[in-house]
């Protein structure tokens, strides 16, 4: 495992690696800004909803809440779907990471509203943050290099000033600004923003590939060192340490085994000893992007019952992945998922657990179930640049998940790939999917 640790540290701290990542960050920010400006220019807000706004935009009211505060104004724009927004204000960590090209991770990893906001309008682009963060962002992120002409500072103890600063940067009142769902602004364009970022730019795809490789390494290295009888918490700690060493974190990290794995779809680590079969699941995050993967390790070859169960899950995954061709709607992909569960003798088996779907700037950009034809996303076509992570499973401890990128020629590239792990024999997919590692006793 020492070679793995060395690979991670060198890969992320050499001058070449730092320079390359900075160049990609700038390219990401430019691509996102061009998409936003094109969206603003069309005036088409397909998924927009009226958001609560205060009657006197810019005043210090609960309806103009800043970071960590919920808006409480009951007033709503009735015509938000018909009026062109004057600009866009991004306030959540995922949206800010997308627009900024992957700024440093949020100070509070659990926050719904970031300490950095991005404002994009036809007049220009700017960032807003507190005086606590401003010097670091100027020095280490360089807003100007990333196309943000101004960095506005507000006092940390006056979070409502974020909204005032956004209005000043955009040159428009809050009621005329779209946002990623913040209640202070007049138009909730959350769904349109998801649609804008679904197809990753080339630089985003490169960053996702690196993240996927690091996520796979973290799980595989953590499980490869497992010895039967070790606690699930110790396996989990290793996986987390490898991931953090690569500059990523884990919004989702699930480790469990044996009878708890057979009984629960989410066998969260509790300090239980794992002797026969261990599972590690991760959704890794870095620079705003997410990658999901699952790996298994066992102390002995699988019995016939579990091996058959695993083959069923792999067949379902193969069917849903095969359906993900450019131009096919996600509704049709879900129909294939439903059919595949029935084909392995588990009709509607998808009802027992989350099935995954498009991934990128959220662990699930959207998640719908078969038959939910009323969703906007049911008719959304799969396209080149989409990242997908399907998550089929069956009771008894069988599950499969990796992150794939849809390529321009319609192939699926598995990005959660790392060397030194066994692959499934006679797998129809190329390259073959990860198998269960036998660690011995």
Binned at pLDDT 50, 70 and 90, residue 296 comes out as: very high
Q: Is 202-438 a domain of CATH 3.10.100.10?
A: no
To the nearest 10°, report the CA torsion of 313, 319, 321, 323.
Answer: -160
Q: What is the mean pLDDT of residues 362-384?
A: 97
Q: What is the mean pLDDT of residues 85-98?
A: 97
Distance between CA atoms of residues 272 and 257, nearest Å: 8
Residue 431: asked if its preceding bond is cis (omega within 30°), the reply is yes
Q: Quick one: pLDDT at residue 430?
A: 87
> Are 76 and 50 spatial neighbours (Cβ–Cβ below 8 Å)?
yes
Count of Cβ atoms closer than 10 Å to residue 130 Cβ: 20
* Per-chain mean pLDDT for the chain: 89
Q: Containing H/E element for 285? A: strand 277-286
pTM check: above 0.85: yes
Domain positions in the chain are 27-197, 202-438
Tell me the pLDDT tens digit for each residue of 155-176.
999 999 999 999 999 999 999 9
Comparing 306 with 426, the larger pLDDT belongs to: 306
Binned at pLDDT 50, 70 and 90, residue 428 comes out as: confident
Burial of 345 (0-12, 13-18, 19+ CB in 10 A): exposed
């Amino acid at each position: 495992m020492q070679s793995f640790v060395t690979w991670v540290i060198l890969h992320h701290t050499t001058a070449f690696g730092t320079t390359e990542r900075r160049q990609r960050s700038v390219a990401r920010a430019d691509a996102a800004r061009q998409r936003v400006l094109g969206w603003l220019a069309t005036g088409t807000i397909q998924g927009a909803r009226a958001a609560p706004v205060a009657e006197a935009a810019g005043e210090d009211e609960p309806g103009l809440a800043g970071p960590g505060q919920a808006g409480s104004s009951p007033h709503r724009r009735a015509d938000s779907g018909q009026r062109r927004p004057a600009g866009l204000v991004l306030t959540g960590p995922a949206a800010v990471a997308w627009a900024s090209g992957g700024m440093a991770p949020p100070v509070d990893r659990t926050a719904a509203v970031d300490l950095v906001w991005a404002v994009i309008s036809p007049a220009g682009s700017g960032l807003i943050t507190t005086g606590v963060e401003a010097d670091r962002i100027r020095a280490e992120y360089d807003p100007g290099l990333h196309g943000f002409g101004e960095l506005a500072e507000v006092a940390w103890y006056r979070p409502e000033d974020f909204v005032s600063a956004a209005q000043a940067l955009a040159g428009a009142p809050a009621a005329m600004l779209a946002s990623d769902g913040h209640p202070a602004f007049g138009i909730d364009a959350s769904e349109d923003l998801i649609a804008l970022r679904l197809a990753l730019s080339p630089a985003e795809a490169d960053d996702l590939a690196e993240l996927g490789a690091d996520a796979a390494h973290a799980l595989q290295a953590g499980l490869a060192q497992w010895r039967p009888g070790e606690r699930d918490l110790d396996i989990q700690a290793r996986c987390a340490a490898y991931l953090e060493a690569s500059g990523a974190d884990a919004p989702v990290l699930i480790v469990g085994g044996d009878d708890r794995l057979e009984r629960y779809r989410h066998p969260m680590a509790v300090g239980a000893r794992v002797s026969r079969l261990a599972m590690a699941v991760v959704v890794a995050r870095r620079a705003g992007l997410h990658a999901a993967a699952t790996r298994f390790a066992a102390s002995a070859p699988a019995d016939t019952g579990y091996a058959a169960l695993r083959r069923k899950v792999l067949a379902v995954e193969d069917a849903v992945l095969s359906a993900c061709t450019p131009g096919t709607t996600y509704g049709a992909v879900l129909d294939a998922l439903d059919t595949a569960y029935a084909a392995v003798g588990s009709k509607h088996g998808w009802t027992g657990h989350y099935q995954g779907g498009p991934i990128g700037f959220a662990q699930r950009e959207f998640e719908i179930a078969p038959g939910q034809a009323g969703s906007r996303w049911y008719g959304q076509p799969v396209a080149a640049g989409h990242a997908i992570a399907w998550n089929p499973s069956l009771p008894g401890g069988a599950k499969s998940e990796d992150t794939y990128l849809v390529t321009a020629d319609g192939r699926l590239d598995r990005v959660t790939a790392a060397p030194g792990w066994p692959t499934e024999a006679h797998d129809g997919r190329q390259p073959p999917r990860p198998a269960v590692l036998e660690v011995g006793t």
